[in-house]
Amino acid sequence: MGDILVAARRTAGNPMLEQTVWQRHYDWLEMTEDEQFAAITPEAADFARDWFLGRFRRPRAGRFSLSGLGGCQRALLFGFAGVPKLGEDPARVELASMGTHDHVFWQVEGLSMGWLKLVERFVLDPRTMVGGSIDGIQPDDSIFELKTVTSAKFGKVFDGPFWEHLIQADGYGELWGSDYISIVYQDRQYGNFREHRVERDDKTNKARLAIEAKLNDHVASDTLPPVLSGCDTRSSMTYKQCPYRKYCLTATKVMLEER
């Protein structure tokens, strides 16, 4: 609780930077299972049904995903071109699946408890073809973004959000029209969570726009950026976990002639 009080004192000058999710989530966790089921609204139940029916799935080809904008640019370009992915490690797939389901649970909770008014809002900039699905919109029109992470990574979030998540949040904020974002991290193993309430800033915005411009330049010239260090020797975890490693080291163009 001490770190929450420190954060509250740090943001006392701007009410919009005060945490908006953590106390409501605590309230939910303190309810019995029967109370939680009774609290679920028809709107939240309809959303969960539609999600499990795949009605929020969108193809990634032809656009750059904001969730990956702070990562490998070659991977983003392969995704834009619709290059098929390799099969992934079953353990990683299981972790990703757990995180995806956790998102649905938080969204159902938010809709039912009233701290979310909208979920899964897809936004896209038609000029740069950058976009993605926002996890949720809060009643004050600020953004809710959930990140489920490993315990090791969760231990690193107490000083602030990861840079790549700030890049993603900046894009969502600009496309939705909000300057404030709640980035909530949840430990996949233990369920601990932490909220960072952030405001968009010029430095992050300029960094994101520079990445977007570079990606579009590569599309226009049908070129790829250099291979990441460690990937060139096939030794890095980034390479070993990359779904495009079959093509990456030999590809020279965005639009692969052979797949």
- Each residue's pLDDT tens digit, 221-232: 999 999 999 999
Pairwise CA distance, residues 184 & 193, whole Å: 7
- The SS3 call for residue 176 is helix
Q: Which residues pair with 181 in a beta bridge?
A: 143, 198
Residues 194 and 200 sit within 8 Å (Cβ to Cβ): no
Q: For residue 167, is pLDDT > 80?
A: yes
- Each residue's pLDDT tens digit, 34-72: 999 999 999 999 999 999 999 999 888 899 999 999 999
- Each residue's pLDDT tens digit, 181-226: 999 999 998 989 999 999 999 999 999 999 999 999 999 999 999 9
Residues 249 and 230 sit within 8 Å (Cβ to Cβ): no
pLDDT, residue 5, reads 35
pLDDT, residue 73, reads 95
pLDDT, residue 124, reads 96
Q: For residue 96, is pLDDT > 70?
A: no
C-alpha closest to that of 79 among 116, 132, 39: 132
| CA 203 vs CA 34, 147, 167, 215: distances in Å | 46, 22, 10, 19
- Each residue's pLDDT tens digit, 137-151: 999 999 999 999 999
pLDDT, residue 155, reads 92
pLDDT, residue 59, reads 85
| Domains by residue range for the chain, with CATH | 2-226 (3.90.320.10)
Q: For residue 22, is pLDDT > 50?
A: yes
pLDDT, residue 252, reads 87
More confident residue, 132 or 90: 132
pLDDT, residue 7, reads 43
